[in-house]
């Protein structure tokens, strides 16, 4: 477990290195450990062009240890161990040489840090980034020879482990209060504070696995319900087909119980064997598929296969019990008929039902309409099954479309090509951090929180210069002190409108701000609030002329790296899409194939029942001289019409359900982007199910051809 690797209970970052006296806490028993790191440029192929950012830690045994997946831990100054998932994505192997911070290092090991099960560069990132972000381990001497400024991060562990998350949150709040007091008293500044329960890099993987399990459970439940309907219709059709045999056996003295046992045994035995085989394959062949899928997305330590009783209950016992109960109920109900009713094939409950008057259409059309009315229960099941498949197809088709849309529009969602956030607007000498870039524009940004039952979401509050060339909000200068514009994602996520009041809070202080929404700004992809720079100074009690960043369409080179906290570029906007595309792109293709196969199986079972139900009638029309092609037009075309109407309806219903589900899922994460399907995507969904049906039609036509003409003569009533 994680205790083996001494996982932190949380971490915080200070602007300056703390002195020893700072960590004397009275209210909470904690042990604090140094966990310093540097963010360096990583060049995987040594071509002089940066391939991303690597967060470098010095080797330690005290806290947040790493699991060695391959190779060795670094022992020399020029040796490095990097994250195994990033290495796999970047094509790096042990023995390769990479450039970190302008210096060459030999990759001697692939590791998985216990506090980085997902590679979140920032805790507020919606998704991790294993393509352009890496974590690595070097020796103490290797760490000292790097150039970027040190981030003074500290990890803590409680003296006594909390019993649950509620107690952990209380301990964290108490510790934050005392730490904040100590930070002020020692003339330091807190840059970050993240308890373990709120750390995305630690919890995202387990939460995502939990949501995968929940989604898998929902899909399993839906499949079980559909299978139950198919079981019921199939067994009912089987008994109706063999009614004369059953009537004969009953007349010869066989009891209802014996016949119930006979018709019940085979479906249950087959289901039991299938469930057992599924378990064996699940723990052997398909286990590796799932393991590789998770290792492709997460930086997980080595695993051990454990038998899961809950999975056994849901995937084995429930289907077998369902098969038993559904079949038993249907068989017992069918066996209530007398032997004479079975012999006469008289198994309908409704007696003397008035014939439905059909429209005065041509014969073929009236015949097809009669077939549709005769098989309404089967078509209802078909509708439910196709609807379920369309929801899955909406995800398989819509996910790539959504990512494509946001990648293509990333540039339009940015204020400027470069957004520089400064550590302070003055350097260590007290001089204002200025630049000679003519297109550079000052701004201020401060992170607040919007608290809800689902999460505590970070909201970026921007102070914008008058007449800004990058944030084009007309009338921004005339806003009153508490009046703000909000971003379109902010409005969409929380259902806000112009005139609403929003309440935001400081992350580390007990302080609230109330703002009135007076407008919506749509050229922004983050959860953000905008106000004039002058109002920003008043609201946050800042000095006149103070700012903490520049927006620019050209790179700023005359501000020292030591004064820059972070640089936001197009990569920061698109990295989420790149990662999701890498992690899920191939699986969406598999998902489409699965949906086609599911549609084919469902349609095959139902059309098989319809044809078998009408074998006698098909045989009769063959005697009357109709050809197989004409008979197929009668029986298959009616199903085709129902299927096409079902597809048209469920394409849009499935998309609406997926859109609603997407909003629910996204609401529990920081950030926001809406689900988008291109018009061609709806056509794809329609065509995928149609492909499944066309495959089935081949088998159905062969089944019609095999029905002999003497079938009707054998069953003359």
Q: What value does the mean pLDDT take over residues 58-80? A: 92
Contacts of 27 (CB under 8 A, 6+ apart): 174, 175, 177, 178
DSSP 358: P
What are the phi and psi torsion angles at 342 (to 5°)?
A: -65, -45
157 confidence band (pLDDT: 50, 70, 90): very high
Q: Where are the domains of the chain?
A: 2-202, 203-351, 363-413+570-717, 418-568
Determine the pLDDT at residue 116.
Answer: 92
CA distance 346 to 397: 48
Average pLDDT score, the chain: 85
Q: What value does the mean pLDDT take over residues 236-248? A: 85
Q: What value does the mean pLDDT take over residues 659-675? A: 81
The answer on pLDDT for 169 being more than 90 is no
Determine the pLDDT at residue 154.
Answer: 95
CA distance 333 to 335: 6
What are the phi and psi torsion angles at 178 (to 5°)?
A: -70, -40
Q: What value does the mean pLDDT take over residues 70-86? A: 93
Determine the pLDDT at residue 617.
Answer: 80
The answer on pLDDT for 401 being more than 90 is no
Determine the pLDDT at residue 632.
Answer: 82
Say how many C-beta atoms besides its own lie within 10 A of residue 277's C-beta. 10
pLDDT digits (tens, 9 = 90+) for 451-490: 877 677 889 999 998 888 899 888 888 898 889 999 999 9
Name the residue with tokens 């019993």.
163
CA distance 226 to 220: 10
Q: What value does the mean pLDDT take over residues 351-377? A: 72
The answer on pLDDT for 242 being more than 90 is no
CA distance 55 to 149: 12
491 confidence band (pLDDT: 50, 70, 90): very high
The answer on pLDDT for 712 being more than 70 is no
Contacts of 361 (CB under 8 A, 6+ apart): 369
515 confidence band (pLDDT: 50, 70, 90): very high
Determine the pLDDT at residue 519.
Answer: 92
Closest to 311 measured CA to CA, from 213, 209, 211, 206: 213
586 confidence band (pLDDT: 50, 70, 90): low
pLDDT digits (tens, 9 = 90+) for 115-139: 999 888 888 776 788 888 999 999 9
Closest to 128 measured CA to CA, from 117, 139, 144: 117
């Amino acid at each position: 477990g994680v205790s083996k690797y001494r996982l932190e209970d949380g971490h915080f970052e200070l602007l300056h290195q703390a002195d020893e006296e700072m960590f004397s806490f009275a209210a909470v028993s904690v042990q604090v450990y140094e966990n310093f790191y540097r963010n360096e440029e990583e060049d995987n192929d040594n071509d002089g062009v940066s391939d991303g950012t690597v967060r470098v830690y010095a080797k330690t045994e005290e806290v947040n240890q790493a699991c060695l997946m391959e190779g060795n831990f670094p022992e020399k100054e020029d040796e490095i161990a990097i994250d195994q998932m990033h290495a796999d994505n970047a094509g790096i192997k042990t023995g390769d040489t990479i450039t970190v911070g302008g210096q060459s290092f030999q990759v001697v090991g692939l590791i998985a840090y216990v506090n980085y099960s997902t590679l979140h560069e920032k805790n507020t990132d919606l998704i991790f980034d294993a393509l352009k972000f890496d974590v690595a381990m070097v020796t103490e001497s290797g760490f000292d020879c790097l150039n970027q400024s040190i981030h003074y991060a500290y990890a803590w562990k409680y003296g006594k482990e909390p019993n649950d998350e509620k107690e952990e949150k209380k301990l964290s709040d108490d510790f934050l209060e005392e730490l904040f007091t100590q930070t002020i008293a020692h003339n330091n500044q807190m840059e970050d504070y993240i308890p373990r329960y709120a750390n995305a890099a630690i919890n995202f993987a387990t939460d995502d696995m939990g949501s995968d399990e929940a989604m898998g459970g929902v899909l399993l439940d839906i499949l079980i319900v559909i299978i139950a309907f198919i079981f019921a219709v199939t067994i009912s059709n089987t008994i109706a087909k063999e009614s004369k045999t059953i009537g004969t056996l009953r007349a010869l003295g066989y009891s209802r119980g014996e016949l119930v046992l006979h018709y019940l045994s085979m479906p249950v035995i087959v289901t039991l064997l299938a469930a057992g085989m599924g378990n064996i394959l699940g723990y052997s062949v398909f286990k590796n598929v799932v393991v590789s899928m998770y290792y492709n997305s997460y930086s997980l330590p080595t695993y051990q296969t454990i038998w899961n009783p809950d999975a056994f209950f849901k995937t084995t016992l429930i289907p077998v019990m369902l098969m038993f109960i559904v079949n038993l109920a249907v068989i017992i109900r069918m066996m209530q008929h007398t032997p004479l009713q079975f012999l006469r094939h008289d198994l309908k409950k409704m007696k003397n039902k008035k014939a439905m008057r059909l429209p005065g259409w041509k014969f073929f059309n009236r015949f097809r309409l009669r077939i549709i009315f005769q098989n309404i229960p089967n078509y209802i099941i078909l509708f439910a099954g196709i609807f379920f498949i369309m929801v899955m197809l909406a995800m398989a088709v819509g996910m790539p479309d959504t990512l494509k849309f946001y990648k293509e529009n990333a540039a339009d969602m940015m204020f400027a090509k470069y957004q520089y956030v400064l550590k302070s607007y003055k350097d260590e000498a007290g001089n204002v951090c200025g630049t000679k870039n003519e297109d550079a524009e000052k701004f201020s940004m401060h992170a607040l929180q919007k608290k809800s039952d689902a999460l505590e979401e970070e909201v970026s509050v921007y102070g914008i210069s008058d007449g800004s060339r990058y944030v084009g909000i007309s009338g921004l200068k005339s806003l009153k002190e508490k009046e703000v514009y909000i971003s379109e994602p902010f409005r969409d996520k929380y259902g806000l409108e112009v005139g609403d009041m929003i309440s935001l809070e400081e992350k580390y202080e007990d302080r609230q701000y109330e703002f009135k929404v007076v407008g919506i700004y749509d050229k922004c992809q983050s959860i953000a609030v905008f106000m004039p720079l002058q109002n920003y100074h008043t609201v946050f009690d800042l000095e006149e002329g103070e700012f903490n960043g520049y927006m620019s369409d050209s790179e700023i080179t005359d501000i020292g790296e030591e004064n820059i906290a972070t640089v936001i570029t197009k990569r920061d906007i698109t990295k989420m899409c790149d990662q999701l595309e890498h992690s899920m792109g191939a699986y969406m293709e598999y998902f489409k194939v699965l949906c086609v196969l599911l549609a084919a199986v469902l349609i095959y079972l139902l059309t098989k029942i319809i044809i078998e139900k009408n074998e006698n009638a098909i045989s009769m029309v063959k005697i009357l001289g109709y050809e197989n092609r004409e008979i197929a037009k009668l029986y298959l075309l009616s199903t085709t019409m129902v299927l096409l109407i079902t597809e048209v309806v469920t394409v849009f219903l499935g998309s609406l359900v997926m859109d609603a589900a997407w909003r629910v899922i996204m609401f529990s994460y920081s950030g926001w982007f809406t689900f988008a399907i291109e018009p061609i995507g709806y056509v794809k969904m329609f065509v995928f199910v149609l492909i499944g049906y066309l495959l089935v039609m081949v088998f159905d036509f062969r089944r019609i051809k095999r029905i002999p003409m003497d079938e009707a003569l054998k069953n003359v009533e």
